[in-house]
Structure 1
Amino acid sequence: MKTKQLKHLMKATALAVLMSTSIPTFAQSNNEIVAVVDNSVILASDVMQAMAQMQQQFAAQKREVPPQPYFAQMALEQLIDRQAQLEQVKRYNVPLDEKTLNEATLAIAKQNGFKDLESFQKSIDSKQKGSYANLRANIAADLSLERVRQQQVNSRIKISDQDVANFLKTPQGQAALGTQAHVLHMRISGQNAQAVAEQVKAALQNSNDVNEIAKRFSQNGSDVQGADMGFRALSDIPAELSARIAPLASGQVSELIPSTDGIHVMKLLERKSTEKKVIVPQYQTRHILIKTSEVVSPDMAKQMIDNLYSRLKNGEDFATLAATFSNDPGSARDGGRLGWVNLGMMVPEFESQMKAAQVGQISQPFESQFGWHILQVTDTRQHDMTEEYQQRVARQILAERQFNTELDNWLREVRNNAYVEIKDPRLDSKKNPS
């Protein structure tokens, strides 16, 4: 489920809690167990609450509420699916911090006209005691479900470098990057269209004069039309034609393209991208890190880094000290070198020092969440990352395409693998179809 869908579900959950709705349902105790899902149970009261929520959604969408028996079955099926997924949350022990839960709850409070959590809690608890706690529990479950879905579905998405390269050659890939193509277009119809089209293709390989080519071959019952389409976004060209243009090199002519209105031939004159170059500053950086531990107290770590700073200022070799004393094993074995670093790769404290440093200058000791650092920027450059940016965009698009399919597959597997026992036969769609 995507973030937008999650927000919609959370808002609907809030409405279900905030609005008191009386729904007639099957005559039984609210505490009666109507279904068992793995190690959890679903009560009649849960079904009634789900029906209340669904009724609000139907009303918002101006849809008619289904007949009562079928409506109750729908609600139970949604609860079973949800509970099966919540069992996965238990299995993977997904953590949820209080700050995230408060932010999500406050967002719902503001959607309903409240400025803070305190007034929100008082309002909904005044209608029914415990409603606020129930709402927070539902929001926490929604957030945890979203994290499990993201983790499990993303682990299934596999995109190779070849997938990215292939996508960037397609019209969709070119369109995503803002690519435009200057194209000549010929259409051949009438008598002997196939033979004439072959001749037009040969002529187009040696000439860009579409009007002359059209006039030369429009005879003996053949109709040849030509046009210089100028620069056009590939997304603005019919898919069956843009698919043939995307792989062409400049000056290359396409194969013959049969269609209902004749045979088409395309020639790519030039390709350009409306995307600007992605130029980013990079810093060639090395550092020394001293961490605190069970045997190294914060004061000891500070003393050690200060001592190393003094030794560096006295002319000792940075690489040697990093290799000997740095607690960052990945860089220590290479004299503290981190290679070329982009902005956004490091924690804020490190990045701030890195940006402020002059080339060759050794920074004063500074602290981050990882410990005490000394860094040195040995070089800077403006690096063209357009290709990397394009590949990242392609991966995002391909991942988005795969996500919904893999999400559906995962949801199906979770439900199929769950133990489900419906206690009330009136709510079992298999035994009692409505």
Structure 2
Amino acid sequence: MKFKKALGLLVATLLCSQAFAAKLLDKAAVIVDRGVILESEIASMVTEIKANALKNNQKLPSDKALRTQVTERLILRELQMQMAERAGFQVSDSQLQDTLVNIAQSQGMTIEQLKRTIDAAGLQGKTWEAFRDEIRIELITNEVRRSSVSRRVYVSPQEINSLVEALQQKGRENDEYHLGHILVGLPSEASAEDIEASKGRAEKVLRLLNDGSEFRKMAIASSSGEKALDGGDLGWMNINEMPTLFAEAVEGAKKGAFIGPIRSGAGFHILTIFDVRGREIVEVTETNSRHILIKPSIILSDAKAKEMLQTFLKDIKAGEADFAELAKKHSADPGSAAKGGELGWADPNVFVPEFRDALNSLQKDEFTGPFKTDHGWHIVQLIDRRKQDKTQSMQEEQAYQMLFKRKFAEESEAWYRSIRENAFIEILD
């Protein structure tokens, strides 16, 4: 009996000691403005980092140095969360769910499989709910940093142009051109009249080419170059392999371009680029279209809006009404209505999916509709299509992104220092 009482007393004492230890473990470790960082938060992050390092066979600094780094990270996180609270910034459950789905898909899992994996791992008691909370905090802090730092970043047009030029120059060193060549020759001791006559013949050849004459045929008929009988085909050449005169002329030129006449001691040269390899060319098919938009309202039902457009389309096709006049009078899209419904040249992908698909289904001058989008009911006519080289604009966008990322990283460090220095922080003993 005495033994049982002693054992019970011992168990009670141990339980009390554990509860006391847990309280000590969860004491405030750092005061950060209006918030605190708990000892348990620091310990949990240190343990998680150690576990990941062990798993990845990665070496870590001393426990003291690791604790200092973790504490600093949690201080910055707490400061950003306080900024988010003051700004009223929140992450909705649907935003969080979308992010979790993306994380799961990146791991080749469903959301349920990811949940089971995290719960099964149970790293230091980490649960699915704790994982969700971490992702929510990360989304919030990333948005606070993005909105705060982006305002401090400016990329000038001059910087973009300089970087584009540098990237193009680097790329051009590896570009290869499949060249065609026509030479309108000169006598060895050409007079001024000879030079003028040769120049005139070269200009005539160039005009014929621009009017649609076939280059290889023109080379056989008109060229005095050594490759004339091969249709003027010089084959594939790198910029550094070409005569300097040619290299300067073709650098940066597009496939299919005619270049010249270029004067040399031998005569007047006309070049074409049959093809280019090693260079990324971005072509976009643009459409020019016009539409009439009718928006349903309290006094105009959905069915009535559709019926109006059906009548418009019937009258237009019968020649009893003019599309542009109907658009000016009835279209609810003020930007295009004033232009007779015309939307101008644009990549169809800038439009909502229903409108894009309608355009892609049309041939030139065809009509379609009525069909409904989030904006209302439409009828649309495809005026024309064209291919546009968007390589330059793509390169400018790439250059901007590269410059922005570099400056964003630099400004992020400055911003972190700023909010850290301006905050009240007390690390408790």
User: Which residue of structure 2 lines up, in the alignment, with residue 195 of structure 1?
Assistant: none
- Distance, in Å, in 2 between the alignment partners of 1:103 and 1:300 is 38
What is the Cα deviation at residue 115 of structure 1? Answer: 4.7
Query: Deviations 1:134-176 (Å, cap 9, x if unpaired)?
Result: 2111112212333343444444433333322222333x44225
Which of 286, 292, 295 matches 1:288?
Answer: 292
Percent identity of equivalent pairs: 27
Partner amino acid for 2:365? Answer: G
User: Which residue of structure 2 lines up, in the alignment, with residue 80 of structure 1?
Assistant: 75
Query: Deviations 1:264-304 (Å, cap 9, x if unpaired)?
Result: xxxxxx99873154332211111122334566554454344
Tell me the number of residue pairs that the alignment of Structure 1 and Structure 2 aligns: 321
What is the Cα deviation at residue 73 of structure 1? Answer: 2.9
User: Which residue of structure 2 lines up, in the alignment, with residue 160 of structure 1?
Assistant: 156
- Distance, in Å, in 1 between the alignment partners of 2:146 and 2:126 is 30
Which of 131, 142, 152 matches 1:135?
Answer: 131
TM-score by length of 1: 0.62
What is the Cα deviation at residue 51 of structure 1? Answer: 1.4
- Distance, in Å, in 2 between the alignment partners of 1:311 and 1:93 is 54
| Cα-Cα RMSD | 3.9
- Distance, in Å, in 2 between the alignment partners of 1:47 and 1:107 is 28
* SS state at 2:135 partner: helix
Which of 122, 131, 147 matches 2:143?
Answer: 147
Query: Deviations 1:42-87 (Å, cap 9, x if unpaired)?
Result: 2222112121222234334544444444433322211011122223
- Distance, in Å, in 2 between the alignment partners of 1:345 and 1:148 is 29
User: Which residue of structure 2 lines up, in the alignment, with residue 212 of structure 1?
Assistant: none
Which of 278, 282, 288 matches 1:278?
Answer: 282
Larger mean CA deviation between 353-362 and 382-391 belongs to: 382-391
Partner amino acid for 1:403? Answer: F
- Distance, in Å, in 1 between the alignment partners of 2:116 and 2:173 is 49
Q: Which has the larger radius of gyration?
A: 2
* SS state at 2:369 partner: coil
- Distance, in Å, in 2 between the alignment partners of 1:41 and 1:276 is 53
Does 2:110 correspond to 1:105?
A: no
Query: Deviations 1:320-364 (Å, cap 9, x if unpaired)?
Result: 222222222222222222110113211211111101112222211
User: Which residue of structure 2 lines up, in the alignment, with residue 359 of structure 1?
Assistant: 364
Relative to 1, partners in 2 of residues 1:61 and 1:368: Cα closer, same or farther, differing over 3 Å?
same
More helix by share: 2
User: Which residue of structure 1 lines up, in the alignment, with residue 170 of structure 2?
Assistant: 175
Which of 367, 371, 388 matches 1:383?
Answer: 388
Relative to 1, partners in 2 of residues 1:387 and 1:70: Cα closer, same or farther, differing over 3 Å?
closer
Relative to 1, partners in 2 of residues 1:179 and 1:118: Cα closer, same or farther, differing over 3 Å?
closer
- Which runs of structure 2 are paired with 1:3-22 in the superposition (5 Å)? none
Query: Deviations 1:219-259 (Å, cap 9, x if unpaired)?
Result: xxxxxxxxxxx8479xxxxxxxxxxx9xx95699xxxxxxx
Does 2:322 correspond to 1:327?
A: no
Relative to 1, partners in 2 of residues 1:130 and 1:389: Cα closer, same or farther, differing over 3 Å?
closer
* SS state at 1:364 partner: strand
- Distance, in Å, in 1 between the alignment partners of 2:357 and 2:100 is 34
CA contact (8 A) 1:322 1:335 kept: yes
Relative to 1, partners in 2 of residues 1:180 and 1:334: Cα closer, same or farther, differing over 3 Å?
same
CA contact (8 A) 1:288 1:325 kept: yes
User: Which residue of structure 2 lines up, in the alignment, with residue 56 of structure 1?
Assistant: 51
Larger mean CA deviation between 306-315 and 69-78 belongs to: 306-315
- Which runs of structure 2 are paired with 1:35-434 in the superposition (5 Å)? 35-60=30-55, 62-94=57-89, 96-106=91-101, 115-117=110-112, 120-121=115-116, 124=119, 131-170=127-166, 172-176=167-171, 180=175, 231=238, 274-293=278-297, 296-314=300-318, 315-417=320-422, 419-422=423-426, 424=428, 426=429
- Distance, in Å, in 2 between the alignment partners of 1:312 and 1:349 is 22
Partner amino acid for 2:99? Answer: A
CA contact (8 A) 1:178 1:273 kept: no
Relative to 1, partners in 2 of residues 1:106 and 1:340: Cα closer, same or farther, differing over 3 Å?
closer
Runs (4 or more) in structure 1 with deviation over 6 Å come to 110-114, 270-273
* SS state at 2:279 partner: coil
Runs of at least 5 residues in structure 1 that lack an aligned partner in the other structure: 1-25, 183-229, 234-244, 253-269, 427-434
User: Which residue of structure 2 lines up, in the alignment, with residue 197 of structure 1?
Assistant: none
TM-score by length of 2: 0.62
Relative to 1, partners in 2 of residues 1:313 and 1:98: Cα closer, same or farther, differing over 3 Å?
farther
Runs of at least 5 residues in structure 2 that lack an aligned partner in the other structure: 1-20, 178-236, 252-270
* SS state at 2:292 partner: strand
